[in-house]
Amino acid sequence: MARKDIGCPTPAGANLKDLYQRLLLVFCPILHFHPEERFFPVDLPSTINYSALWKFDPNVDLSPAACTNMIKKGQINNPAIDLSLAGVNHFTTVTDMNWYDKQIEGQPAIKLPEPKLDKILQVYRDNIKPELTIYGMVCKARETPNSNLLINDKTMNSTIQSAFAEGYLLTYYFYFPAYEDKYMKSEGDWSGIALLVKALPNSFEDLKNNIKTFEPVLSCYFSKRYDEYPPAPHLAAHPDGIRLWQNVTKTKDASVNHPTHPKVFISKGSHNCYYTAFEKNVNSYAPWKPFITSEGIEEEKYSAGPVDNTIVGSTDWGEIDWYEYILFPPLLPFVLCASGCDYPFHFDSSGIAPEDRDHPEATNENGYDGLPDSKGSSYPSKPASQAAPGQQSITLKLEYVDLSNQDFAAIWGYPGAWGSATIWAIYDYAKWGKIQGVRRPMLAAWFNFNLFVDHIYGAGGIPELTPLP
């Protein structure tokens, strides 16, 4: 079944389309990559034209027998036609399917999919040679999935409430060739940020002369955390994910003579987005099981509760009274119920070694500096740390998501998974090997959800008395 979240409607009028593109360019982020980063955001057409299309049969035990090659590598010529029959069990890969033998104690060895990251990197550098790209989309905030969570939320910061009611989301997507860390290897990886603006300008001159009127009030940085359903990771709400615009570090845009470009720091390998550079440990799992998922958010399975600041959703443990979300912080029950008790946020960490429950993640100001421009640069030949010391600049093309273009819409709304994936070290069970890759998230929906989730009091609105960072 095709996904329904292909994106926000593209304006029919050329003038409004031009204005959207200009607005996205003025506020386009500057990306900072770690010196040892190997994978950078690439354009989709180059990737898809070099890819093969495969289908995974979920009714077959995980093995090579579950995979069927539908279109050979490099033969996807017209995505609107060649990908038109693809569904949720289809996926793409720029390499051939690779398998490794997994030995589980007391059982025969089984074959699991294995993305060859070195091979993927070589293919992008030597064969695909993509343009480094940021994708930008403009959405009316109240027309995005799950906007009902915020429309009548009386507990939210009044400035943000007003901007959300009348404003727009500028959403920037980054597609990386691969994801890599000690827990997971995945061909294909999505990330991004979104900005909430109060209103749209009427013209280029309006944007230039009254830039403060149209600047964002809030930014949202997307992170990925593992949950128990591969091909995780899903995007997850995170305490570092929300930042008031006034507290975001920005670079001046010469065309409007005002600091408008937010600095975004990309973590090495996992490509999580942050507002500052750091080195720290982050959780390798999402703290819920299996209530909140990216699919549920995008399909609007969760809605505001009886007081409009709580979540109600259909789950395998039944309906939960709204006040339970308000009275109990999500992490408190993990402490009180160490021996196990019935609570809506279930999480079983018994199968995870203590040293594997979090992992180091780092961002850096001294690696690659990705500057937004109208033309993308070629793929870097080697990590910055292996070249000259200090920061190196690369150019990232800003590509407007124009769904009125049939070929582009076929790629953007592709219902299959991008790349192939497998989870490695956390769980020693066959079910954690997964052939499917990652699907494009509806980041605008995640903006709404991250804003709705209060990281101090649980799944409620942001209290007016709790200052945002």
Compute the C-alpha angle 143/227/286, nearest 5°: 75
Percent of all residues in the chain with a pLDDT value above 70, rounded to a whole number: 73
Instruction: Count up the domains in the chain and report the number.
Output: 1
Segments forming the whole domain that contains residue 117: 14-452
pLDDT of residue 305: 62
Residue 468 lies in a domain: no
User: 155 pLDDT exceeds 70?
Assistant: no
Residues forming a β-bridge with 266:
33, 273
pLDDT of residue 114: 82
Region 24-44: what's the mean pLDDT?
96
pLDDT of residue 229: 53
Q: What is the CA radius of gyration of the chain?
A: 22
Report the range out of 204-218, 258-272, 301-315 with the highest average pLDDT: 258-272
Burial class of residue 148 (count of CB atoms within 10 Å of its CB; 0-12, 13-18, 19+): middle
User: 141 pLDDT exceeds 50?
Assistant: yes
User: 254 pLDDT exceeds 70?
Assistant: yes
pLDDT of residue 439: 83
pLDDT of residue 288: 52
The Cα–Cα gap between 285 and 29 comes to 27
pLDDT of residue 187: 92
pLDDT of residue 406: 86
pLDDT of residue 175: 95
What is the dihedral sign for C-alpha 261, 34, 134, 188?
A: negative
pLDDT digits (tens, 9 = 90+) for 385-405: 887 777 899 999 999 999 888
Residue 467 lies in a domain: no
User: 126 pLDDT exceeds 70?
Assistant: yes
pLDDT of residue 455: 52
Query: In the structure encoding, which two tokens stand for residue 353, read together?
Result: 């070694």
Please check whether residue 219 is in contact with residue 194, taking contact to mean a CB–CB distance below 8 angstroms: yes
Residue 283 lies in a domain: yes
pLDDT of residue 309: 55
User: 337 pLDDT exceeds 50?
Assistant: no
The DSSP code sequence of 355-372 is GGSEEEEE--SSSEEEEE
Percent of all residues in the chain with a pLDDT value above 90, rounded to a whole number: 37
Region 31-50: what's the mean pLDDT?
95
User: 319 pLDDT exceeds 70?
Assistant: no
Please check whether residue 143 is in contact with residue 452, taking contact to mean a CB–CB distance below 8 angstroms: no
User: 360 pLDDT exceeds 80?
Assistant: yes
For residue 39, give the nearest of 435, 360, 380 by alpha carbon.
380
The Cα–Cα gap between 167 and 151 comes to 12
Residue 281 burial (CB count, 10 A): 10
Residues forming a β-bridge with 395:
371
Query: In the structure encoding, which two tokens stand for residue 61, read together?
Result: 């035990």
Region 293-304: what's the mean pLDDT?
72
The number of residues in the chain equals 469
Residue 240 lies in a domain: yes
3 state DSSP class of 431: helix
Beta strands in 347-435 (DSSP E): 358-362, 368-373, 392-400, 418-423
User: 453 pLDDT exceeds 70?
Assistant: no
Alpha-helical regions (H) of 95-175 = 117-123, 148-151, 158-166
pLDDT digits (tens, 9 = 90+) for 299-309: 777 766 655 55
The Cα–Cα gap between 70 and 47 comes to 17
Residue 120 lies in a domain: yes
Region 358-376: what's the mean pLDDT?
89
Q: Parallel, antiparallel, or unpaired: how do β-strands 30-33 and 258-266 relate?
A: parallel
The pTM of the full predicted model, rounded to 2 decimals, is 0.88
User: 216 pLDDT exceeds 90?
Assistant: yes
Residue 469 lies in a domain: no
Residue 421 lies in a domain: yes
The Cα–Cα gap between 309 and 153 comes to 6
User: 227 pLDDT exceeds 50?
Assistant: yes
pLDDT digits (tens, 9 = 90+) for 69-92: 999 999 999 988 999 889 888 999
Region 136-147: what's the mean pLDDT?
87
How does the average pLDDT of the chain come out, rounded? Answer: 79
pLDDT of residue 460: 60
Residue 53 region, left (φ>0) first, then alpha (ψ -120 to 50), else beta? beta
pLDDT of residue 190: 92
pLDDT of residue 462: 57
The Cα–Cα gap between 469 and 464 comes to 13
Please check whether residue 113 is in contact with residue 433, taking contact to mean a CB–CB distance below 8 angstroms: yes
Weakest mean pLDDT among 22-36, 186-200, 213-227: 213-227
350: Cα within 13 Å, side-chain hemisphere? 5
Burial class of residue 425 (count of CB atoms within 10 Å of its CB; 0-12, 13-18, 19+): middle
Residue 462 lies in a domain: no
**pLDDT-derived band at 433, boundaries 50, 70, 90:** low
Please check whether residue 369 is in contact with residue 34, taking contact to mean a CB–CB distance below 8 angstroms: no
The DSSP code sequence of 26-93 is HTPPEEEE-TT-----B-HHHHHHH-EEEEE-TTS-SSGGGEEEEE-TT----HHHHTTT--TTEEEE
